[in-house]
């Protein structure tokens, strides 16, 4: 587990890239784009990618003006580190995705691998159409097996380690009211 000293060191090295107000404006833009895309007849299922997208999705949903259902997927690649590893499935949706429009809601797209795997899963389950949304589209080289872009992006952010609005380090800092970059923390390369 992370120590209180490590938390304090990270806090000293954080720089706010986007304030809470800027994030909320970005969520408004995503919601408006979705309101223009989906009609009352579409009845999409919004899949929240846990745990990171829970704040974004929770703030996005009340801004949407069409009927929808929600479910979630839970995958993990970081397991308490700053570097991604293999994708592990923790939970899959319980709602049938067969012949449905799916909107996968992510906190961040960086390598694009997690989102690509969730898309693959939705396709295997017979989804009719799949859309993707991310609060943060990080300017990061996409992996060979990752997706390049999302259908709905809130913010475009430089390639740094990010925290806040669902983005975390070892489960901490998800509740920061903005998007923060971590400069080189003490004791880390």
CB 31 within 8 A of CB 9: no
**Closest Cα to residue 162, out of 176, 148, 146?**
176
Point out the residues that are catalytic.
110
Burial class (CB in 10 A: 0-12, 13-18, 19+), 126: exposed
CB 181 within 8 A of CB 158: yes
């Amino acid at each position: 587990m992370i120590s209180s000293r490590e938390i304090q060191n990270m806090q000293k090295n954080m720089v706010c890239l986007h304030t809470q107000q800027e994030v909320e404006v970005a969520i408004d833009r995503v919601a408006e784009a979705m309101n223009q895309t989906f009609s009352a007849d579409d009845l999409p299922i919004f899949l929240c990618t846990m745990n990171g997208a829970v704040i974004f999705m929770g703030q996005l949903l009340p801004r949407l003006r069409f009927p929808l259902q929600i479910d979630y997927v839970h995958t993990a690649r970081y397991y308490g580190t700053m570097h991604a590893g293999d994708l592990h499935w923790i939970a899959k949706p319980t709602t049938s995705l067969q012949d449905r429009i799916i909107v996968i809601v992510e906190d961040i797209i960086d390598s694009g691998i997690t989102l690509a795997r969730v898309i693959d899963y939705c396709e295997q389950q017979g989804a009719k159409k799949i859309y993707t949304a991310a609060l943060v589209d990080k300017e990061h080289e996409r992996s060979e097996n990752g997706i390049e872009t999302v259908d709905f992006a809130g913010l475009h952010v430089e390639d740094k380690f990010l925290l806040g609005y669902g983005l975390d380090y070892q489960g901490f800092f998800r509740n920061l009211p903005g998007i923060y970059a971590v400069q080189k923390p003490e004791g880390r390369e």
